[in-house]
Amino acid sequence: MRRAERLFRIIQIMRTANGALTALQIAEKLEISKRSVYRDMAHLIGSGAPIDSEPGVGFMLRDEFDLPPLSFTFEQLEALALGAKTLALIADKDMSAAAKEALAKIRDAVPQSHQEKLDSPHLMVVPPQGITMPQKELRQARRAIDEKRILSVTYRALDDKVSERQLYPLALTNFGPIWLMTAWCVSRQDFRDFRMDRFDNMQVQLEKFTLAPHRTLETYLKRFEG
């Protein structure tokens, strides 16, 4: 998890907490060390974040910290909540946690009447049965797409043929229990879609890629127009 994302998530965790949080509690939620939490807290406080800390008690956001009020219709909130619930079930741990925090943030920012409607289980999401989401691979893929880093993968096709590929990852698409990665495949010199549950190995390289105009995601999507 990148530091900027970690700092943002610390703020969101503190914002939805009922009272002070210890470094251990924050560390457990983010699956990082207490030492990392203390370093991040020192950075946030030094940057001017309104955080109070007290030995033996923990860290707490002061009341002056808040976000602008949200102005949504209930249908819009319902759509956001359903999307967040779905993502919490099908994504990797980091994205799942972010979805849950976003849902809590939405709930805390709306009137009580909307909170009660959001809490009503009239729209439910059922997790895919018998499917283990590729947690590590999803995190690696999101990082590689964001940072434009080359992926080296061992791919097992549906006919069980195994091949080594170098990929320029472009996008991820979810189809219920299946995640697909769209990438420019160096060995095939063309776009390919890969099932992420068929990756036997994935390594994010230090080397970054640059995309020629004919290798972009927009070019790939144009194949399906008209």
Predicted structure pTM score: 0.61
Question: Looking at residue 111, what is its pLDDT?
Answer: 72
Each residue's pLDDT tens digit, 45-100: 888 888 888 888 899 887 655 555 556 677 777 788 888 888 888 888 888 888 88
Q: Identify the bridge partners of residue 191 per DSSP, sorted by sequence position.
A: 184
Phi, psi (deg, nearest 5) at residue 173: -130, 135
For residue 113, the tally of other CB atoms under 10 A from its CB is: 9
Instruction: Give the ranges where 31-168 is alpha helix by DSSP (H).
Output: 34-46, 74-90, 93-109, 112-119, 135-147
What tens-digit pLDDT sequence spans the chain (226 residues)? 677 778 888 888 888 788 899 999 999 988 899 999 999 999 888 888 888 888 888 998 876 555 555 566 777 777 888 888 888 888 888 888 888 888 887 777 777 777 777 777 677 777 666 666 677 888 899 999 999 999 999 999 989 899 999 999 999 998 877 889 999 999 999 999 999 989 989 999 999 999 888 889 999 988 887 6
For residue 101, the tally of other CB atoms under 10 A from its CB is: 20
